[in-house]
Amino acid sequence: MARLNVLKNHLPWTRTPLIVSAPMSGAATSKLAVAVTRAGGLGQIGFMDDMAALSNELNTAKHELQDLMNTLPNPQQLPIGMGVIVFGSPIEAFMQLFAAYQPAVAWLSFGSTSELRAWTEGIRRSSPETKVWIQLGSLQAALDVALVCRPDVLVVQGGDAAAHGHQNGASVLSLIPEIADTLQENELHDIPLVAAGGIVDGRGCAAALALGASGVVMGTRFLAATETQIPQSYRDAIFKASDGGEVTARSRVFDEIWGPNFWPTTYDGRCLKNKAYEQYRDGVGIDKIRNGLFSAIHRQDTEPLDAQELGSLWAGTGVGLVKSMENAADIVREVQGQTRKYLDRAMLSL
């Protein structure tokens, strides 16, 4: 309960249970962030390596949320999160944006503990009211980051999650309780945990709260939101998919098909399976896969490949529960309502 109060104090416009839209690079723009925040969740703008484009998105969000900001204890704070992929990113350029826009949350992911510490300290100097959330996917990473960085929130990403994450990560079903116990043993129990990975509805949210999370992050579910910036063909592939453990896979090939993989070896990514993945699994060399994909894309005498074959379509194992387009606000309210219902039902059954 104390950790829930901490989050509520940090994010005073939100309603419980806390629903967070994942900072999906290229897909989570100001439009999605604003819609989720207005519905009582935490909306986020995804990572961009174009500082001008990111500044434009932040400025748009500030304009769209100015009326809400005027009602908050700190009217200068932008009530959204801003995602950052730490490794390889220009820290000083990002610090300028944090200072200028003062987002409520800085979501840091994919970096060494020393890198995450440098970013944490920089953010706390540049924008002291911004809360630092750090995403990770293993017990040891969580403990190291908690001890060294003392983040305001740890985002625990399980192996069911879409897109990039720890390639050897467990699901949140075991990861959240183990991390919670370890933090307790090390007198770090005041750091709230937020669960990510495989959560798409109120049942998953209720389960995450029972495991010890103080809120949940959804990415795959928000791929269906009208405000998310993805091609309709991507959404159609999501709606068509079922049996998420069968139709998705974790692999580094989803990055390697486009050229040398710059991602650290700690990480891979979960996507909808496609021909490139199947060839890689069956032992076809990566150069041959790349050449075949390049030829197929540029061939003029055949039917075009569908979106799933042409690209890496990130999706989590909960994809089979995502069936239709919805407004982001409706998703937030629906999941919050479902969560309360399932928690009440569980209490009545005891």
Radius of gyration of the chain (CA): 20
User: Which CATH number is 2-231+324-349's, of 3.10.450.50, 3.20.20.70, 1.10.3720.10, 3.40.50.80?
Assistant: 3.20.20.70
282 token code pair:
């069956």
CA angle 76, 129, 4 (to 5 degrees): 110
CB atoms within 10 A of CB 307: 18
pLDDT, residue 6, reads 78
Cβ-in-10-Å burial (0-12, 13-18, 19+) of 324 comes to: exposed
SS (H, E, C) 116-162: HHHHHHHHHHHCCCCEEEEEECCHHHHHHHHHHHCCCEEEEECCCCC
Phi, psi of 218, deg, nearest 5? -125, 130
Half-sphere exposure of 293 (CA within 13 A, CB side): 27
* pLDDT beyond 90 at 160: yes
Handedness of CA 119, 124, 130, 131 (dihedral sign): positive
Quick one: how far is CA 90 from the chain centroid? 21
Q: What are phi and psi of 219, to 5 degrees?
A: -115, -60
**CA dist list (Å): 95 to 5, 26, 43, 175, 312:** 28, 20, 20, 31, 31
User: Taking a C-beta distance cutoff of 8 angstroms, is the pair 190, 183 a contact?
Assistant: no
Give residue limits of the domains in the chain: 2-231+324-349, 242-314
Span 4-53, pLDDT tens digits:
677 988 999 999 999 999 999 999 999 999 999 999 999 999 999 899 99
Model confidence band, residue 267 (pLDDT cutoffs 50, 70, 90): very high
> Model confidence at 345, in pLDDT bands (50, 70, 90)?
confident
pLDDT (tens digit, 9 = 90+) per residue, 289-316? 888 887 777 765 556 667 777 778 999 9
